[in-house]
Structure 1
């Protein structure tokens, strides 16, 4: 998917995260988290898997995590990407 505009998904409430996405020439993911030392690798893994499933190859993602579970991370990243790509047709099989 091609990122064509800026978009947001999520909140900065406890157990949630805020995903900010914007167009860029390459793929850059910045993760800020209260639990980065304990779960940083897992958060990065879920984000990378989700972006790969959606075929995102470029864009700037800034993630402000407040202890979100994997399913929440996946849902917020998917929502932000779909909004930023202005997706009109969604391949539901790539989302889980």
Structure 2
């Protein structure tokens, strides 16, 4: 998917995360992660973000994430919502194959 505009998903509530995704034309994926549990889970959070973006075929994006202890399933859902919004897809989300993702 091609990121066309900035989009946001999620909240700053406990057990959630807020993700902002924006264009990053030709510069790959850049992740800015802010998390109170970054030392324990930062590597896993980045891994889930990258795998989800890869599965959605996103190649260039600036991603800012403020994590408040979100589980993997929440990270995936919020990332998918932000990417679809940023790509201009506001309905008919493609959830097919989600169960088979290796995240």
* TM-score interval, normalised by the smaller of the two chains: over 0.9
Correspondences of 1:28-43 after superposition (within 5 Å): 28-43=30-45
User: Number of matched residues?
Assistant: 96
Note the residue ranges of structure 1 that are not aligned, 5 or more in a row: none
Q: Which runs of 4+ in 1 moved over 6 A?
A: none
Aligned partners of 1:93, 1:14: CA distance in 2, in Å? Answer: 28
Aligned partners of 2:41, 2:51: CA distance in 1, in Å? Answer: 15
**Which residue pairs with 1:2 in the alignment?**
2
Note the residue ranges of structure 2 that are not aligned, 5 or more in a row: none
**Which residue pairs with 1:71 in the alignment?**
73
The TM-score, its normalising length taken from structure 2, stands at 0.86
The one-character-per-residue Cα deviations of 1:50-83 (angstroms, maximum 9, x if unpaired) are 0010000001110000010010001000000000
